[in-house]
Structure 1
Amino acid sequence: MRSMRRIRNCLLAATSIAAVMASTGLAQAQPAPTGSGNTYEPAMVEALADSLGISKHAAVQRLDDQHTQQQRLDRLRRDGVETDGAYFTDGRLTLNVTGRSDAKRARHAGLSARVPERGARALEKITDELDARAKRKTPSGVVSWSADLSSDSVVVKVADADRDAATRTFLSAARKYGKAVRVEKDTERLAVQRDVYPGSRMNLNNNPGSWCSVGFGATSSSGTEYLVTAGHCIEKLPGLYFDGSRFAKGTTGRFHVGEHSVDMGVARVDSGWDITPTVGTWGSTGNVAVRGSNRAPVGADLCKSGSTTGWTCGSVEGYDVSVTYTDRNGGPDTVVTGLGSSTVCTEGGDSGGAYISGDQAQGMTSGGPIGQTCGGVYDEGHSYFQPLDDALSYYGLDLTTR
């Protein structure tokens, strides 16, 4: 049996003080059964229904359809169908396959299929080569570059093509790939979303003016508990404080300003504290249980909980995204690779906050456009997140689930 201190010190992933208190004394909303036998947290159903302007019944049907299609994809892969990427468009899952026979099998299973000119692996090779070039010298005028499966191309977004020599060299190299790369104008400048504002949820070194948001709990093979977070939140390995009390200490991370980085890191949780497997929704509805970390396909619905904008929802845009983050304190720009992108709205201070799709944990907020403002739960925006499954694999941790 847990001590009273452990019960009092349970933290909800990226939630509010009120939600933490509620978790110790109030019953949480229970998942609602559906006609398919699946269960979905009321928070996810309500958020999806409101964001799409549909009924809750239609939202459940949409989630059922996505779940069924993902199961069909899993069966096809087990049966030997070779896929080269998959993505949702308007609720329908499309597979990239390597031959007509596999395309026929996919269609027979009720899925859309195509044999692309390039496919995910070829696009990944291009992004890897662009990453290597950016690692040598940061192209500060380039916002991001990533594979877009639906168009079967790599999209390079550019804010200022003449920003510096490194940008011009990078774009020249990108254009040599011909139709495999699309260069688009984008006026956004991106930044990590640890920020300096009054108030906090996860204070860095107990500084009330500097904070991030709580992410997911995980354990090592020896049973040590860690907080999995965005690497830039713990770059200098700070103590992490919740409501004035330290609950964790930064242990290691892969983000370093001015260097080629991956935005993941872990903090060892102090004795007597727990990161509960429940994501708070900031009063939007009941808390959402975490039951796994299966990666959601491109186009799938997901929501995020963060200490600045609370509970916001959207969909997955892509994975293996590389971005150039601007340091608003005047430091050097930083190229970060391996991110996911989404239409979820975030602001400064949301960094480290939990992304979840259904009951599957997806990742932690990394960054977004400078100056972006979020008007509510369903206000569409743009953000980047560190995929959780990659972080768990890299650090050899097991997600804490309910």
Structure 2
Amino acid sequence: MDHALVRVVRASDAPGPLADLRGGDAYFINSAASCSIGFPVTQNGQPGFVSAGHCGQAGSSAAAPDGTSIGTFQGSTFPGNDYSWVQADSSWTTQPQANNYAGDTVTVSGSDVAPIGSSVCRSGSTTGWRCGRGRQFNATVNYAQGSVFGLTRTSVCAEPGDSGGSFISGSQAQGVTSGGSGNCTVGGTTYFQPVNPILQAYGLTLATG
């Protein structure tokens, strides 16, 4: 080897590993309760994700299951609506994907609203990937904390910890898991908060691919 052809350049930057934000993955709020990521988003280039409002209040911390900090809730509304958004640290990258819990992901390409009767699937960290059909727009749900309006009712099951997770029809983002009845053993009804009003409320851009 000709050492005269080798040149060493010292860089001033210090690269670090980047972690991915992906729909349906688990996160923890204030090192306690767990929810699921809805959809990765950006605001003025800053990464983050949307989720359910009942998952955390503005100022609450969000962390990955291994304890790594993700970021902080910047906005949250519940009841009335059930949505929130978390601004992530710069070490996180948004991926236009939702975990299908079968070793792969589903790519999100937009947020067109699927007609009632369409197949919808939900990604959540407790029960994984579950599918059913949209049953009703503009549903009102009376939770113990108060009423939430404008939800979409589905025949998809869900359980605690799935809250906030992705609802998708084909490749189109539909909303984030709010709540419901039943479970994934006997089946149930689950409602989601439509995603487009969340994006509009906070000035967010959905990660698409």
Which bin holds the TM-score, normalised by the shorter protein? 0.7 to 0.9
Which residue, 12, 16, 30 being the options, matches 1:205?
Answer: 30
Indicate how the Cα distance of structure 1 residues 324 and 228 shifts in structure 2: closer, same or farther if over 3 A, else same: same
Q: Is the 8 A contact 2:122 2:130 kept in 1?
A: yes
Runs (4 or more) in structure 1 with deviation over 2 Å come to none
Q: Is the 8 A contact 2:46 2:90 kept in 1?
A: no
Counterpart of 2:60?
238
String of CA shifts for 1:87-111, please: whole Å, max 9, x gaps: xxxxxxxxxxxxxxxxxxxxxxxxx
Q: Is the 8 A contact 1:314 1:380 kept in 2?
A: no
Size of the aligned set, in residue pairs, is 194
Counterpart of 1:114?
none
1:334 equivalenced with 2:152 (yes/no): no
Local SS of the residue matching 2:17: helix
Q: Is the 8 A contact 1:303 1:314 kept in 2?
A: yes
Name the aligned partner's letter for residue 212 of structure 1.
C
| Cα distance in 2, alignment partners of residues 291 and 215 from structure 1 | 15
Local SS of the residue matching 1:363: strand
String of CA shifts for 1:287-333, please: whole Å, max 9, x gaps: 1001111011111001000011111000111111111012xxxxxx3
- Larger strand proportion, structure 1 or 2? 2
1:289 equivalenced with 2:107 (yes/no): yes
Alignment of 1:76-225 (within 5 A): 201-207=26-32, 210-220=33-43, 222-225=44-47
1:398 equivalenced with 2:205 (yes/no): yes
1:251 equivalenced with 2:63 (yes/no): no
Name the aligned partner's letter for residue 97 of structure 2.
T
Q: CA offset at residue 12 of structure 1? A: 2.1
| Cα distance in 1, alignment partners of residues 16 and 131 from structure 2 | 35
Q: CA offset at residue 223 of structure 1? A: 1.6
Counterpart of 1:227?
49
Q: CA offset at residue 388 of structure 1? A: 0.5
Local SS of the residue matching 2:198: helix
1:325 equivalenced with 2:132 (yes/no): no
Name the aligned partner's letter for residue 262 of structure 1.
N
Local SS of the residue matching 1:351: coil
Local SS of the residue matching 1:382: strand
Which residue, 149, 156, 160 being the options, matches 1:348?
Answer: 160
Q: Is the 8 A contact 2:52 2:83 kept in 1?
A: yes
Q: Is the 8 A contact 2:109 2:208 kept in 1?
A: yes
Local SS of the residue matching 2:41: strand
1:373 equivalenced with 2:183 (yes/no): yes
Name the aligned partner's letter for residue 278 of structure 1.
Q
| Cα distance in 2, alignment partners of residues 318 and 248 from structure 1 | 34
- What's the TM-score, normalizing by structure 2? 0.87
Local SS of the residue matching 2:45: coil
Q: Is the 8 A contact 2:73 2:86 kept in 1?
A: yes
Q: CA offset at residue 14 of structure 1? A: 1.1
| Cα distance in 2, alignment partners of residues 206 and 5 from structure 1 | 22
Local SS of the residue matching 1:390: helix
Local SS of the residue matching 1:5: coil
Q: Is the 8 A contact 1:227 1:248 kept in 2?
A: no
Unaligned runs of 5+ in 1: 16-200, 327-332
Name the aligned partner's letter for residue 254 of structure 1.
T
Q: Which has the larger radius of gyration?
A: 1
Q: CA offset at residue 253 of structure 1? A: 1.2
Root mean square deviation of aligned Cα: 1.6
| Cα distance in 2, alignment partners of residues 4 and 10 from structure 1 | 13
Local SS of the residue matching 1:297: coil
1:301 equivalenced with 2:119 (yes/no): yes
| Cα distance in 2, alignment partners of residues 231 and 357 from structure 1 | 22
Name the aligned partner's letter for residue 192 of structure 2.
F
- Larger helix proportion, structure 1 or 2? 1
Q: Is the 8 A contact 1:13 1:275 kept in 2?
A: no
Q: CA offset at residue 236 of structure 1? A: 5.1
Q: Is the 8 A contact 2:107 2:171 kept in 1?
A: yes
Counterpart of 1:5?
17
Percent sequence identity is 38
Compare relative contact order (CA 8 Å, sep 6+) and give the higher one, 1 or 2.
2
| Cα distance in 2, alignment partners of residues 306 and 282 from structure 1 | 9
| Cα distance in 1, alignment partners of residues 183 and 205 from structure 2 | 34
Counterpart of 2:11?
none
String of CA shifts for 1:164-190, please: whole Å, max 9, x gaps: xxxxxxxxxxxxxxxxxxxxxxxxxxx
| Cα distance in 2, alignment partners of residues 278 and 398 from structure 1 | 14
Q: CA offset at residue 380 of structure 1? A: 4.3
- What's the TM-score, normalizing by structure 1? 0.46
